[in-house]
Structure 1
Amino acid sequence: MIIYVKYMVSLRCKMVVKQELQNLGLHCINIELGKIEILEKITDAQKEKLGEKLISYGLELLDDKRKILIEKIKSVIIEMVHYSDEIHKVNFSEHISEKLSYDYTYLANIFSEVKGVTIQQYIILHKIERVKELLLYDELSLKEISYLLNYSSIAHLSSQFKKVTGLTPSYFKKLKEKRFVNLEDL
């Protein structure tokens, strides 16, 4: 049986869900971002208990088919941007469409209608969060980050970063350095 969970976007979330399933005596076959496959058929009582437990962790069981589809789209995007090193080789619309076996236009329309932003805007927000993360790690140059996240140029990345955050990538990096300097002075 397959169960869908909203806001399950990290490895920690997966661990929490797996533990709660075990507490209910259910056996997890496969667990992905936003999707759990269990061996048994879940009873209404078990589903209710699971739902209550997950809410305490900020997670939510999904029943509405449109919401489930939105969560699937979000999970594919999060996985691509945050957990894949293959992002520069992928066309987002084709990948999402292929992964979910739906026409991209259909997915884009539902996503925009339900979330109030386009899939493209959602991808950009996640890419910028990933850029911030990579800048804070300070392991890659801006050129390497732009290549990794499939930007056409450093200028394109910088322009998009400034549009979303109000800061240039280099200024964002300096703010981090200033914070560390201030912490060292304590």
Structure 2
Amino acid sequence: MATKKIYIKNMVCDRCKRVVAEELQKLGYAVLQVGLGEAEIATESDDVDMEQLRDVLENNGFELLDDRKTQLIEKVKLAIIELIHQAGEQDLHINTSDYIAEKVGLDYNYISSLFSSFEGITIEKYLILQRVERVKELLVYDELSLKEIAYKLGYSSVAHLSSQFKKVTGLTPSHFKQVKSAKRKTLDKVQE
């Protein structure tokens, strides 16, 4: 029995992991593990029908990643999403460059340069966009005060959160909360 790790773009939540696992099983693969952005399967031989796999994933809104650099970029995005969405469970006051370098297992300067050249924005800008989307989500839930949200997401103050939020959205958090009509983006579309 051979094992193969596959990397998948746009796989950013537990529902995504469940869909991918189900689709891999339908194709007859033994699913060993499914995590954010990746899955490991067992096969009878080293032969995996990559075109069939690509088609099934694309039909479900995912993308099979073949290229090593593209896989690395996806790992960086997933590390950032994981960091932002597990705030509270992890300390968001940590050094994000160290966190990303540790998660990806490469030098941060290399990762940062590669990310910028592939995505057209810096890792820092991507992180800010993800944080703002998380702020929007928490504002819509209306369970936490702005001060609690600022602390939870690692902002130094409510003023810092508000300034960054307005720079990205054009609205203050309180105005956003009032109108709640500003559309939130799915996590995989944040930079678009």
Whether these two folds match at TM > 0.5 is yes
The counterpart of 1:166, out of the listed 162, 170, 186, is 170
Asked if 1:124 corresponds to 2:134, the answer is no
Distance 1:7 1:43 in 2: 25
Unmatched tracts of structure 1, length 5 or more: 178-186
Taking a change above 3 Å as real, the CA distance of residues 57 and 119 of structure 1, as seen in their structure-2 partners, is: same
Q: Which amino acid aligns with 1:122?
A: Y
Taking a change above 3 Å as real, the CA distance of residues 163 and 42 of structure 1, as seen in their structure-2 partners, is: farther
Unmatched tracts of structure 2, length 5 or more: 182-192
The counterpart of 2:105, out of the listed 101, 107, 111, is 101
Taking a change above 3 Å as real, the CA distance of residues 43 and 83 of structure 1, as seen in their structure-2 partners, is: farther
Identity of counterpart residues, as a percentage? 53
Q: After the TM superposition, which parts of structure 1 deviate over 2 Å for at least 4 consecutive aligned residues? A: 39-45, 87-90
- Cα RMSD after superposing both structures: 1.4
Displacement of 1:176? 2.6
Greater radius of gyration (CA): 1
Q: Which residue of 2 aligns with 1:64?
A: 67
Kindly tell me the number of residue pairs found equivalent between the two proteins. Answer: 176
Asked if 1:36 corresponds to 2:47, the answer is no
- What TM-score does the superposition give when structure 2 sets the normalisation length? 0.87
SS at match of 2:180: helix
The counterpart of 1:17, out of the listed 20, 40, 45, is 20
- What TM-score does the superposition give when structure 1 sets the normalisation length? 0.90
Distance 2:24 2:46 in 1: 10
Displacement of 1:88? 2.4
Q: Which residue of 2 aligns with 1:181?
A: none
Is the 8 Å Cα contact of residues 3 and 37 (structure 1) preserved in structure 2? yes
Displacement of 1:27? 1.5
